[in-house]
């Protein structure tokens, strides 16, 4: 996943918005507690720990890499 000049937190929030219906999966695979994921996604936590943000960023990066390798695209549900 390429971030360019976009702040990491902005990328994570955008990806959480895109995966709104799949937050339990995001939490399970990333290792971040579900309640923490939902609080970040709902913007209740404004300054999460860097380890939390990194775990989420790693999850989304691995999803992008996996989708690119298999030719799959995330569903628009």
Residue 68, domain member (yes or no): no
Beta carbons within 8 Å of 48's beta carbon, 6+ residues apart: 9, 36, 40
Tokens standing for 60? 């989304």
Q: Give the model's pLDDT for residue 11.
A: 94
The verdict on residue 8 lying in a domain is no
CB count in 10 Å sphere of residue 5: 4
67: pLDDT strictly greater than 80 = no
pLDDT band, residue 5 (cuts 50/70/90) = confident
For residue 73, tell me if it sits in a domain.
no
Q: Is 6 among the domain residues?
A: no
For 45, 46, 47, the CA distances from 63, given in Å and listed in that order, are 24, 24, 24
In a domain, 54, yes or no: yes
Residue 29 counted as domain residue: yes
Residue 5 in domain: no
In a domain, 38, yes or no: yes
Domain that holds residue 31: 15-63
Segment 22-63, tens digit of pLDDT: 999 999 999 999 999 999 999 999 899 999 999 999 999 998
pLDDT at 18: 96
Domain total in the chain? 1
| pTM score | 0.76
């Amino acid at each position: 996943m390429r971030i360019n000049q976009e702040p990491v937190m902005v990328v994570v929030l955008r990806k959480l918005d895109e995966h709104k219906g799949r937050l339990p999966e995001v939490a399970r695979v990333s290792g971040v507690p579900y309640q923490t994921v939902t609080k970040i996604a709902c913007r209740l936590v404004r300054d999460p720990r860097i380890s939390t943000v990194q775990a989420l960023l790693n999850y989304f990066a691995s999803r992008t890499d996996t989708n690119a390798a298999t030719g799959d695209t995330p569903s628009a549900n």
